[in-house]
Structure 1
Amino acid sequence: MRLSSKWGRWLAVLCLLVPTALLQGCWDIRDIDNRMLVGAMGIARDDERGVTIWVRFPIPHAQQGTTSNDKGFLAASQRGKTVVDALDRLRARMPKYLDLSQTRAVFVDKKLAEEKGIYSFLDFAVRDRILPISAVFALIEGDMDPIFTRPNPSGELSGVYTRLFFEKYAGGTPQKNKVTLWQVFNKHYNPLQQNFVPLIAADDTFQFYLKGNMYFSGDRAAGTLTPDESLIYELVTGKLSPFEIETAGGANVKVETSSARIRTAWAEGRPDIDIVIRVVMKLMDASHTKPMNKQNIEQTIDRLLEDRAAKVFSVTQARESDIFGFGNRFRASLPTARHKEWPALYRQAKISVKLESHMVNEGLKLLRQ
């Protein structure tokens, strides 16, 4: 019995050793020291009927003392016939492996988006999955050079600080409208909703600033909404965060919460969309020149937002750009074969908007009645 037990233990040890001998080492691994991680990437139009890509690499603190670069990052650009061709040409110049797996932000030139569209230049990201689809996406107006070559005044974590510009827990605001790559492609393949992405430009003090948000018609950027007009998109889609401040008759109010009730139907062969938006706000600063009571401020806010909403719906309908996703509400009543007709149907839609504002927390300073 003891002999059998002894041989059993040796057999168990042998069973553990044999598979270990068959295991192979990591023959194709690339150490972190042999990689150059891309933090942010840009795609711009080239005058020679090609494209120019921009990349920005963070330089680890341990390596900064061994190089003449004390900016904390390295920026590079490369021309090519396509984005993939430009990346291949860039790899031929680099001493280390070009790693796009940690990219935090992807930028595309505004003119490129308007004239040629964006999807043909981003198709490689989905097919090969070399870019994370969670990377934030934005359009850039003007030259990309200062955005990629200037140091970040708030510190350098290339790409990370770029992403923080859009995050709600950091520098994000409702107007900045954070959009990721997967959301861009999701709406591209959904004819019932169009893309709505932020537009930024280089800033003299900070790295860049928000100019507005661009709405798309099909593959191409069709127009721009100002940051204030973008508030309507946030209210209708329910994405508003409590950071927006509106000015009503000299009184500043802060929108705390909002909810939208949207009713859709067909009327005389065209979509009929009725929207009621309820806004809860609080008084931040009463007017010192023209005292207003609570009711006056609420009515002023209602008129302000209703007029702004009418303008936003007018310009987006004219370009057949349903950025609000109303088409998704008609999915059940619209045959699949007619989904491609939705942009034209949205142009004909009857849209009515009503605001219902309610002010709370009027503050220690009482409003005059």
Structure 2
Amino acid sequence: MKKKISYIIFIILICPIILCGCWNYREIDTLAIVAGMALDKNMVTNKYILTTEVITTQAQGVSSIISSQIFTTEGDSVFSAVRDTIEKTGLRLFWSDSKVIIISDSIARGGIIPAIDWTNRSNFVRPDMWLLIAKGNTASEILKTKVKINEVTSFHLDDTMNSWSILSKFTNSMVWSFVDGLSSPGKSEAVTTVKNKLSDGNILPLVEGCAIFKSDKLVGYIDGNETLYMLMIKNKIKQALITLVNVSGSNTNVTLELNDNRTKLTPIYNNGSVSMIIDVYPTLSIHEIQGTNDFMKEENLETLQHEAEKNIGSQIKNLISKLQNNYDSDVLGFGEKFNEEKPKIIKDYNKNGKDIFKDIKTVVNVHVEIKGSNKTIKPIYIGK
């Protein structure tokens, strides 16, 4: 009995030692909390230019104001530039709260893997950081902008990126998903773009559109509207707005909200020819009519439905043509679909050293369903 009691006392005494604390615990005031980072290249020295946004706090009465400070360093590698930042901050860098990494156009065009390898490899950096490409600006210029709503630019970009499924003007590109996509056969990647834009007298970072990659190299861009239809083809769209201008010559514009969508891809091989049948099933609702036409009447509703199908089909065909002829980049995953359902065809293409994407002919079928018109089914009438 005494022996049993001794064991219990021993366990009680040892628990506080083995269960409390952390082996690599550090006080918060000995760390510089990094909100985001940007990478550019010095074209003269060929060194990486690392810009980090570090969170700062300033006491104001009983509360504190969160802001940020920018630090810039150079290094032969990304990691050496990271280490050199310690000399400027005087503190070890804490990366677990980092939200975003912005890569310059010039780095991305030369091959993005060397720039993101440390981010992907390090135990201290989150793999779910947003990956953005700076378009028309250096990456550091994006990070150095100050926004009024949120003084930390990286947090502002994080909030915007979290709205991707509602806006559908950019994709949810993260470091881990980009790296994972590179290893998928018959597939290329699209990464969200950001640029500085003058708005109400202030320069703000605008997130819109995508950078198109072939392998790990940037080959071109698509805008926000084209990104919407890319997401539609890839079955990654949740909500979006589609505006039809001058519906059937009625001088009336109608804005439709996409509430749901299903896209089916059917790969076809016939006598040496490859094609893809794309069936799109969007569910839309009327959200705005800039005129007095009643599009909920049966005959007008059919006209609106036909116009929506024609518009969506045309936008999809234009996007595919651009990706095939201008960029030869399969961000739509057509090759991946062939690999899943017709792997022998892909093997034959690979043996001949050819890429299947450019040879794929497409047939686009759009099946629109318009459900409802918000809280009113009638347009605004003008009394006689």
TM-score interval for Structure 1 and Structure 2 normalised by the shorter chain: 0.7 to 0.9
Question: Given the alignment, which residue of 317, 327, 345 partners 2:324?
Answer: 317
Count the aligned residue pairs: 358
1:276 is displaced (CA, Å) by 0.9
Aligned sequence identity (%): 15
Is 1:328 aligned to 2:331, yes or no?
A: no
1:151 Cα deviation after fit: 2.4
**Residue pair 2:127, 2:175 contacting (<8 A) in 1 also:** yes
> What is the match of residue 188 of structure 1?
182
In structure 2, list runs of 5 or more residues that go unmatched. 247-252
Where 2:367 maps in the other structure, the secondary structure is: strand
Deviations 1:35-91 (A, max 9, x none): 1111111111212212211110111345x78xxx97711111112222122112222
Mapped to 1, the partners of 2:158 and 2:17 lie a distance apart of 46
Question: Once the 2 structures are TM-superposed, how far is the Cα of residue 216 of structure 1 from its aligned partner?
Answer: 0.9
What pairs up with 1:332-351 in 2 under 5 angstroms?
332=340, 333-334=342-343, 344-351=355-362
SS in 1 for 2:339: coil
Q: Secondary structure at the match of 2:225?
A: coil
Partner of 1:47, secondary structure, is coil
Match of 2:50 among 53, 62, 73: 53
- Going from structure 1 to structure 2, the CA distance change for 1:83 and 1:22 (only over 3 Å counts) comes to closer
AA at the equivalent of 1:220: K
- 2:238 matches 1:274: no
Q: Is the 8 A contact 2:146 2:153 kept in 1?
A: no
Partner of 2:35: 39
Q: 2:192 aligns with which of 183, 193, 198?
A: 198
Q: 1: CA distance between counterparts of 2:13 and 2:290?
A: 81
Equivalent residue, structure 2, for 1:161: 156
Aligned-pair RMSD on alpha carbons? 3.0
Q: Partners of 1:47 and 1:71 in 2: how far apart? A: 35
Q: CA deviation at 1:244?
A: 2.0
Distance in 1 (CA, whole Å) between partners of 2:356 and 2:51 is 39
User: 2:361 matched to 1:354?
Assistant: no
Q: Is the Cα–Cα contact under 8 Å of residues 53 and 68 in structure 2 kept in the other structure?
A: yes
The answer for the alignment partner of 2:310 in structure 1 is 303
Q: Letter of the aligned partner of 1:10 in structure 2? A: S
Judged with a 3 Å threshold, the aligned counterparts in structure 2 of structure 1 residues 126 and 270 are, in CA distance, closer, same or farther, namely: farther
What amino acid is the match of 2:217? R
Give the CA deviation at 1:6: 4.0
Q: Distance between the aligned counterparts of 1:245 and 1:108, measured in 2?
A: 31
Task: Please give the per-residue CA displacement for 1:133-190, whole angstroms capped at 9, x wherever unaligned.
Answer: 1111110121334432332211234533221111138x95111212111111011112
Aligned residue type for 1:51: Y
Instruction: Tell me which moved more, 149-158 or 35-44.
Output: 149-158
Q: Kindly indicate whether the alpha-carbon contact (under 8 Å) linking 2:128 and 2:174 is maintained by their aligned counterparts in 1.
A: yes
2 CA distance for matches of 1:16 and 1:227? Answer: 61
Would the alpha carbon gap of residues 213 and 302 (structure 1) be closer, same or farther in structure 2, given more than 3 Å must change?
Answer: same
Determine the structure 2 residue equivalent to 1:74. 69
**Cα 1:287/1:128, change in 2 over 3 Å:** closer
Query: What's the TM-score, normalizing by structure 2?
Result: 0.83
The answer to whether structure 1 residue 88 and structure 2 residue 83 are counterparts is: yes
Q: Separation in 2 of the partners of 1:237 and 1:287? A: 31
Distance 2:218 2:285 in 1: 36
Q: What is the aligned partner in structure 1 of residue 147 from structure 2?
A: 152
Q: Which residues in structure 2 correspond to 1:207-218 (within 5 Å)? A: 207-218=204-215
Whole-angstrom distance in 2 between the partners of 1:23 and 1:295: 68
- Deviation for aligned residue 1:191: 2.9
**Pairing 1:247–2:264 present:** no
How much does 1:237 deviate?
1.4
